[in-house]
Amino acid sequence: MKKLFVIMLISAAFAALPLFAQDNQDSEDSFYYVKVPIVKIYTYSKGYVVSYNVGTYGTEIDTVYIPGSWFSIKENKGIIVYLKATPVVPNLTVYYRNGTFDHVKLYVRRDYSDPSWGYMPLQTNIDDRFENVTDISLKLSLTKE
C-alpha cells in the first residue's frame, strides 16, 4: 500500500510540472530574415550601394545604401561573405529581431570583374544617402502589378 501511495505521489508531481513551467514564448525573440538577389553592387567611399530585384518576376529594381561603418567590429551591423562557388547567386540578406532591423549580410562574388559588381563614376556624389541610415527596409512585391 505504501508503494502504491509513493508511486501515485510521484506521478502526481510529474503531472503537475507543466503547471509550474514558464511560458518561454513571451521571452523569446522573434528572429527572421529576408533574402533578395543582388542585381548590382557598387563600392562607394561611404559604403555599398546595392540594387536588388523586387518581387518574384524581377521587373522592378530598388536600391539600398549600406554604410561602410556597419561592417566594423564596433557597430557589427554588417557582414560580407565572399562566394567562391559560381552557381550561388549574390544576395542581400536582412535580419530582423522583433520586427526591427538587426543586421545585414552581403553574399558577393570574390572577383570584382564579375557582372554583379559595378563601378561608381568618380564624379558621383551620393554622400547624403549614407547619412542617418539606421536600418534597411526592403521593398518587396510578391505579385506582378
pLDDT one-digit tens code per residue, 53-80: 887 676 789 999 999 999 999 999 999 9
Query: Would residue 108 count as lying in a domain?
Result: yes
Rounded to whole angstroms, what are the CA distances from 115 to 20, 21, 28, 33, 98? 58, 55, 41, 26, 35
Query: Would residue 144 count as lying in a domain?
Result: no
Query: Would residue 143 count as lying in a domain?
Result: no
Which string of DSSP letters, residue by residue, matches 11-79?
HHHHHHHHHH---TTTTSPPEEEEEEEEEEEEEETTEEEEEEEESSS--EEEEEEEEGGGGSTTT--EE
Query: Would residue 27 count as lying in a domain?
Result: no
Range of the domain at 114: 36-130
Given a cut of 90, whether residue 15 has pLDDT beyond it is no
Query: Would residue 104 count as lying in a domain?
Result: yes
Q: What is residue 145's predicted lDDT score, i.e. its pLDDT?
A: 47
Which has the higher per-residue pLDDT, 7 or 132?
132
For 19-35, how does the pLDDT look when each residue is reduced to its tens digit (9 = 90+)? 555 554 555 679 899 99
Q: What is residue 95's predicted lDDT score, i.e. its pLDDT?
A: 95
Given a cut of 50, whether residue 118 has pLDDT beyond it is yes
- Number of domain units in the chain: 1
Q: What is residue 80's predicted lDDT score, i.e. its pLDDT?
A: 96
Predicted TM-score (pTM) of this structure: 0.75
For 1-13, how does the pLDDT look when each residue is reduced to its tens digit (9 = 90+)? 666 555 655 655 5
Q: What is residue 143's predicted lDDT score, i.e. its pLDDT?
A: 55
Query: Would residue 138 count as lying in a domain?
Result: no
